[in-house]
A and B are shown apart, each in its own frame.
Chain A
Amino acid sequence: MVQRLKRQFGSGLNPVTYLGQNYMEVDRSLIPEILQILHDQEQFDYCVDVTAVHYPERQRQFDVLWILYSFPLNERIRVKTQIADGETLPTCVDIWPTANWLEREVFDMFGIRFDRHPDMKRILLPEDWKGFPLRKDYGIIQQDTEWVKINLGIESGQ
Protein backbone atom coordinates (compact mmCIF):
# COMPACT_ATOMS: atom_id res chain seq x y z
CA MET A 1 0.00 0.00 0.00
CA VAL A 2 2.69 2.40 1.04
CA GLN A 3 4.58 1.51 -2.14
CA ARG A 4 1.54 2.29 -4.20
CA LEU A 5 1.15 5.66 -2.57
CA LYS A 6 4.86 6.28 -2.94
CA ARG A 7 4.62 5.59 -6.65
CA GLN A 8 1.67 7.87 -6.96
CA PHE A 9 3.01 10.83 -5.05
CA GLY A 10 6.77 10.44 -5.46
CA SER A 11 8.98 12.69 -3.39
CA GLY A 12 6.13 14.32 -1.47
CA LEU A 13 5.75 11.22 0.61
CA ASN A 14 8.30 9.53 2.79
CA PRO A 15 7.30 6.27 4.48
CA VAL A 16 9.09 5.42 7.72
CA THR A 17 8.91 2.51 10.09
CA TYR A 18 10.10 3.01 13.65
CA LEU A 19 9.79 0.36 16.36
CA GLY A 20 7.42 -1.56 14.14
CA GLN A 21 5.05 1.34 13.69
CA ASN A 22 4.43 2.82 10.28
CA TYR A 23 4.11 6.44 9.54
CA MET A 24 4.61 8.62 6.55
CA GLU A 25 5.86 12.11 6.31
CA VAL A 26 3.79 13.91 3.77
CA ASP A 27 4.14 17.26 2.13
CA ARG A 28 1.56 19.83 3.29
CA SER A 29 0.14 20.21 -0.22
CA LEU A 30 -0.67 16.51 -0.51
CA ILE A 31 -2.53 16.24 2.80
CA PRO A 32 -6.17 16.55 1.68
CA GLU A 33 -5.68 14.12 -1.15
CA ILE A 34 -3.80 11.52 0.86
CA LEU A 35 -6.25 11.56 3.76
CA GLN A 36 -9.11 11.14 1.34
CA ILE A 37 -7.40 8.23 -0.38
CA LEU A 38 -6.53 6.60 2.94
CA HIS A 39 -10.14 6.74 3.98
CA ASP A 40 -11.80 5.83 0.68
CA GLN A 41 -9.43 3.37 -0.92
CA GLU A 42 -7.17 2.05 1.81
CA GLN A 43 -9.99 1.45 4.32
CA PHE A 44 -8.61 3.56 7.14
CA ASP A 45 -12.07 4.16 8.45
CA TYR A 46 -11.25 5.21 11.98
CA CYS A 47 -9.40 8.37 12.87
CA VAL A 48 -7.88 7.65 16.24
CA ASP A 49 -6.36 11.01 16.94
CA VAL A 50 -5.30 14.32 15.49
CA THR A 51 -2.51 16.06 17.28
CA ALA A 52 0.53 18.22 16.79
CA VAL A 53 4.09 18.69 18.00
CA HIS A 54 5.86 22.00 18.25
CA TYR A 55 9.49 22.47 17.22
CA PRO A 56 10.16 26.18 17.71
CA GLU A 57 13.68 26.08 16.29
CA ARG A 58 12.52 24.72 12.96
CA GLN A 59 11.54 26.80 9.96
CA ARG A 60 8.21 25.03 9.73
CA GLN A 61 7.41 24.87 13.36
CA PHE A 62 4.66 22.29 13.63
CA ASP A 63 4.30 18.61 13.01
CA VAL A 64 0.63 17.76 12.63
CA LEU A 65 -0.26 14.10 12.95
CA TRP A 66 -3.20 11.98 12.06
CA ILE A 67 -3.26 8.60 13.75
CA LEU A 68 -5.42 6.28 11.69
CA TYR A 69 -6.67 2.77 12.16
CA SER A 70 -8.32 0.38 9.78
CA PHE A 71 -10.91 -2.02 11.14
CA PRO A 72 -10.76 -4.38 8.14
CA LEU A 73 -6.96 -4.52 8.06
CA ASN A 74 -6.32 -4.22 11.80
CA GLU A 75 -3.51 -1.83 11.02
CA ARG A 76 -2.42 1.54 12.28
CA ILE A 77 -0.70 4.27 10.36
CA ARG A 78 0.34 7.79 11.14
CA VAL A 79 0.34 10.65 8.67
CA LYS A 80 2.61 13.48 9.52
CA THR A 81 3.13 16.83 7.93
CA GLN A 82 5.03 19.98 8.70
CA ILE A 83 3.51 23.41 8.64
CA ALA A 84 4.71 26.85 9.61
CA ASP A 85 3.17 29.06 12.23
CA GLY A 86 0.10 30.79 10.86
CA GLU A 87 -0.39 28.27 8.10
CA THR A 88 -3.72 26.50 8.03
CA LEU A 89 -4.73 22.96 7.20
CA PRO A 90 -7.85 21.64 5.56
CA THR A 91 -10.27 20.09 8.01
CA CYS A 92 -11.02 16.40 7.76
CA VAL A 93 -14.36 16.59 9.55
CA ASP A 94 -16.10 15.59 6.35
CA ILE A 95 -13.88 12.49 6.10
CA TRP A 96 -13.91 11.51 9.78
CA PRO A 97 -16.52 13.42 11.82
CA THR A 98 -14.56 12.55 14.93
CA ALA A 99 -11.92 15.05 13.88
CA ASN A 100 -14.26 17.83 14.94
CA TRP A 101 -13.27 18.01 18.57
CA LEU A 102 -9.77 16.71 17.97
CA GLU A 103 -9.03 19.55 15.57
CA ARG A 104 -10.57 22.00 17.97
CA GLU A 105 -8.25 20.74 20.63
CA VAL A 106 -5.24 21.16 18.34
CA PHE A 107 -6.37 24.72 17.70
CA ASP A 108 -6.88 25.26 21.39
CA MET A 109 -3.46 24.00 22.35
CA PHE A 110 -1.31 25.00 19.36
CA GLY A 111 -3.24 27.70 17.52
CA ILE A 112 -3.29 25.77 14.27
CA ARG A 113 -6.42 26.62 12.35
CA PHE A 114 -8.32 24.18 10.19
CA ASP A 115 -10.11 25.58 7.17
CA ARG A 116 -13.81 24.93 6.70
CA HIS A 117 -14.11 23.46 10.17
CA PRO A 118 -17.74 23.91 11.24
CA ASP A 119 -17.02 25.22 14.68
CA MET A 120 -13.43 26.41 15.04
CA LYS A 121 -13.17 27.67 18.59
CA ARG A 122 -11.46 26.78 21.82
CA ILE A 123 -12.69 23.60 23.46
CA LEU A 124 -10.93 22.96 26.74
CA LEU A 125 -9.79 26.45 27.65
CA PRO A 126 -12.03 29.46 28.14
CA GLU A 127 -12.79 31.59 25.11
CA ASP A 128 -10.68 34.48 26.36
CA TRP A 129 -7.55 32.51 27.13
CA LYS A 130 -4.36 34.10 25.91
CA GLY A 131 -1.78 32.02 24.10
CA PHE A 132 -1.59 28.37 23.17
CA PRO A 133 -0.35 26.29 26.08
CA LEU A 134 1.29 23.38 24.31
CA ARG A 135 3.63 25.53 22.28
CA LYS A 136 7.11 25.26 23.62
CA ASP A 137 7.43 29.00 24.05
CA TYR A 138 4.38 29.22 26.28
CA GLY A 139 5.49 29.94 29.82
CA ILE A 140 3.52 27.93 32.30
CA ILE A 141 3.48 30.66 34.91
CA GLN A 142 2.77 33.49 32.50
CA GLN A 143 -0.96 33.45 33.17
CA ASP A 144 -0.37 33.25 36.89
CA THR A 145 2.09 36.12 36.93
CA GLU A 146 -0.23 38.28 34.92
CA TRP A 147 -3.07 37.60 37.30
CA VAL A 148 -1.13 38.45 40.43
CA LYS A 149 0.21 41.58 38.78
CA ILE A 150 -3.26 42.85 38.03
CA ASN A 151 -5.03 41.66 41.13
CA LEU A 152 -2.43 41.71 43.86
CA GLY A 153 0.00 44.23 42.50
CA ILE A 154 3.07 42.04 43.02
CA GLU A 155 5.62 40.88 40.51
CA SER A 156 5.26 37.14 40.89
CA GLY A 157 3.18 34.75 42.86
CA GLN A 158 5.83 32.04 42.83
Chain B
Amino acid sequence: MEPVATPFFFYLLSALAVVGGVLVITRRNPVHSALSLILTLLALAGLYLMLYAPFVAGVQIILYAGGIMVLFLFVIMLVNLERNQKEEQFNKTWLVGLVAAVALGTLFVIVYAKGQALFPERLAQLPEAQNTQQVAVLLYRDYMFSFEIASLLLLVAIIGAVVMAKKRID
Protein backbone atom coordinates (compact mmCIF):
# COMPACT_ATOMS: atom_id res chain seq x y z
CA MET B 1 0.00 0.00 0.00
CA GLU B 2 1.33 3.43 -0.91
CA PRO B 3 1.65 5.39 2.30
CA VAL B 4 -0.45 8.51 2.35
CA ALA B 5 0.90 11.64 4.01
CA THR B 6 2.83 9.51 6.43
CA PRO B 7 4.53 12.23 8.48
CA PHE B 8 1.28 14.09 8.90
CA PHE B 9 -0.54 11.07 10.28
CA PHE B 10 2.40 10.10 12.42
CA TYR B 11 2.48 13.48 14.12
CA LEU B 12 -1.29 13.61 14.40
CA LEU B 13 -1.48 10.25 16.08
CA SER B 14 1.48 10.92 18.33
CA ALA B 15 0.01 14.23 19.38
CA LEU B 16 -3.31 12.54 20.15
CA ALA B 17 -1.53 9.91 22.22
CA VAL B 18 0.41 12.52 24.18
CA VAL B 19 -2.61 14.73 24.74
CA GLY B 20 -4.60 11.71 25.88
CA GLY B 21 -1.83 10.71 28.24
CA VAL B 22 -1.65 14.16 29.78
CA LEU B 23 -5.42 14.28 30.17
CA VAL B 24 -5.39 10.92 31.96
CA ILE B 25 -3.37 12.33 34.83
CA THR B 26 -4.83 15.80 34.95
CA ARG B 27 -8.56 15.07 34.83
CA ARG B 28 -10.23 15.05 38.22
CA ASN B 29 -13.07 12.84 37.12
CA PRO B 30 -11.91 9.22 36.85
CA VAL B 31 -14.34 8.56 34.00
CA HIS B 32 -12.81 11.37 32.00
CA SER B 33 -9.37 9.96 32.74
CA ALA B 34 -10.42 6.56 31.50
CA LEU B 35 -11.89 8.04 28.33
CA SER B 36 -8.66 9.93 27.69
CA LEU B 37 -6.78 6.70 28.14
CA ILE B 38 -8.98 5.16 25.46
CA LEU B 39 -8.00 8.02 23.18
CA THR B 40 -4.35 7.24 23.80
CA LEU B 41 -4.88 3.57 23.13
CA LEU B 42 -6.68 4.26 19.87
CA ALA B 43 -3.91 6.60 18.74
CA LEU B 44 -1.39 3.89 19.53
CA ALA B 45 -3.40 1.44 17.44
CA GLY B 46 -3.12 3.90 14.60
CA LEU B 47 0.63 4.03 15.07
CA TYR B 48 0.83 0.26 14.94
CA LEU B 49 -1.06 0.34 11.67
CA MET B 50 1.50 2.75 10.31
CA LEU B 51 4.22 0.32 11.32
CA TYR B 52 2.58 -2.32 9.11
CA ALA B 53 1.43 -4.30 12.11
CA PRO B 54 -2.31 -4.44 11.51
CA PHE B 55 -2.85 -7.49 13.65
CA VAL B 56 -1.35 -5.81 16.69
CA ALA B 57 -3.45 -2.75 15.97
CA GLY B 58 -6.62 -4.84 15.74
CA VAL B 59 -5.85 -6.64 18.94
CA GLN B 60 -5.07 -3.35 20.61
CA ILE B 61 -8.53 -2.06 19.70
CA ILE B 62 -10.43 -5.21 20.60
CA LEU B 63 -8.67 -6.02 23.84
CA TYR B 64 -7.58 -2.71 25.29
CA ALA B 65 -10.02 -0.17 23.98
CA GLY B 66 -12.99 -2.47 23.61
CA GLY B 67 -12.50 -4.92 26.44
CA ILE B 68 -10.27 -3.84 29.25
CA MET B 69 -11.26 -0.20 29.25
CA VAL B 70 -14.92 -1.12 29.36
CA LEU B 71 -14.23 -3.13 32.48
CA PHE B 72 -12.31 -0.16 33.86
CA LEU B 73 -15.28 2.08 33.25
CA PHE B 74 -17.54 -0.48 34.84
CA VAL B 75 -15.54 -0.48 38.02
CA ILE B 76 -15.27 3.28 38.13
CA MET B 77 -19.00 3.66 37.70
CA LEU B 78 -19.84 1.16 40.37
CA VAL B 79 -17.49 2.70 42.90
CA ASN B 80 -18.67 5.79 44.62
CA LEU B 81 -17.19 8.66 42.69
CA GLU B 82 -17.97 11.66 44.81
CA ARG B 83 -15.40 10.78 47.41
CA ASN B 84 -12.65 10.29 44.86
CA GLN B 85 -13.31 13.64 43.29
CA LYS B 86 -12.75 15.47 46.53
CA GLU B 87 -9.46 13.82 47.22
CA GLU B 88 -6.34 15.84 46.63
CA GLN B 89 -5.10 14.95 43.22
CA PHE B 90 -1.38 15.15 43.57
CA ASN B 91 -0.40 13.69 46.89
CA LYS B 92 2.98 13.89 48.55
CA THR B 93 4.63 11.28 46.39
CA TRP B 94 4.52 13.56 43.37
CA LEU B 95 8.22 14.29 43.85
CA VAL B 96 9.07 10.62 43.67
CA GLY B 97 6.93 10.32 40.57
CA LEU B 98 8.65 13.22 38.93
CA VAL B 99 12.08 11.77 39.67
CA ALA B 100 11.03 8.41 38.26
CA ALA B 101 9.65 10.03 35.12
CA VAL B 102 12.80 12.02 34.55
CA ALA B 103 14.94 8.93 35.09
CA LEU B 104 12.91 6.93 32.62
CA GLY B 105 13.06 9.73 30.07
CA THR B 106 16.85 9.99 30.41
CA LEU B 107 17.11 6.26 29.99
CA PHE B 108 15.20 6.45 26.72
CA VAL B 109 17.32 9.30 25.45
CA ILE B 110 20.58 7.59 26.42
CA VAL B 111 19.59 4.31 24.84
CA TYR B 112 18.52 6.08 21.70
CA ALA B 113 21.72 8.14 21.50
CA LYS B 114 24.12 5.34 22.34
CA GLY B 115 22.51 2.57 20.46
CA GLN B 116 21.34 4.37 17.39
CA ALA B 117 23.25 1.88 15.33
CA LEU B 118 21.03 -0.85 16.65
CA PHE B 119 17.99 0.61 14.95
CA PRO B 120 17.67 -0.07 11.25
CA GLU B 121 17.75 2.91 8.94
CA ARG B 122 14.38 2.01 7.58
CA LEU B 123 11.76 -0.33 8.83
CA ALA B 124 12.36 -3.94 7.97
CA GLN B 125 10.09 -4.57 5.01
CA LEU B 126 7.85 -7.28 6.33
CA PRO B 127 5.10 -8.05 3.88
CA GLU B 128 2.00 -6.63 5.49
CA ALA B 129 -0.12 -9.53 4.38
CA GLN B 130 1.84 -11.96 6.48
CA ASN B 131 1.89 -9.95 9.65
CA THR B 132 -0.77 -12.05 11.31
CA GLN B 133 1.00 -15.25 10.37
CA GLN B 134 4.27 -13.86 11.70
CA VAL B 135 2.74 -13.10 15.05
CA ALA B 136 1.20 -16.54 15.15
CA VAL B 137 4.47 -18.24 14.32
CA LEU B 138 6.29 -16.31 17.01
CA LEU B 139 3.67 -16.97 19.65
CA TYR B 140 2.80 -20.56 18.94
CA ARG B 141 6.11 -21.91 17.66
CA ASP B 142 9.10 -19.95 18.87
CA TYR B 143 7.85 -18.74 22.21
CA MET B 144 5.15 -21.31 22.84
CA PHE B 145 6.31 -22.19 26.34
CA SER B 146 6.46 -18.64 27.66
CA PHE B 147 3.14 -17.89 26.00
CA GLU B 148 1.45 -20.79 27.74
CA ILE B 149 3.09 -19.87 31.05
CA ALA B 150 1.74 -16.36 30.69
CA SER B 151 -1.77 -17.59 30.03
CA LEU B 152 -1.55 -19.93 33.02
CA LEU B 153 -0.50 -16.98 35.14
CA LEU B 154 -3.54 -15.03 33.97
CA LEU B 155 -5.78 -17.97 34.82
CA VAL B 156 -4.34 -18.08 38.31
CA ALA B 157 -4.93 -14.36 38.63
CA ILE B 158 -8.55 -14.73 37.58
CA ILE B 159 -9.21 -17.51 40.04
CA GLY B 160 -7.46 -15.53 42.75
CA ALA B 161 -9.62 -12.50 42.02
CA VAL B 162 -12.80 -14.52 42.24
CA VAL B 163 -11.70 -16.12 45.49
CA MET B 164 -10.86 -12.77 46.98
CA ALA B 165 -14.09 -11.20 45.83
CA LYS B 166 -16.15 -14.01 47.27
CA LYS B 167 -16.67 -13.13 50.88
CA ARG B 168 -17.59 -16.47 52.29
CA ILE B 169 -19.76 -19.39 51.39
CA ASP B 170 -21.82 -20.90 54.12
The answer to whether any beta carbons of A and B sit under 8 Å apart in the complex is no
Q: Which residues of B contact A (CB under 8 A)?
A: none
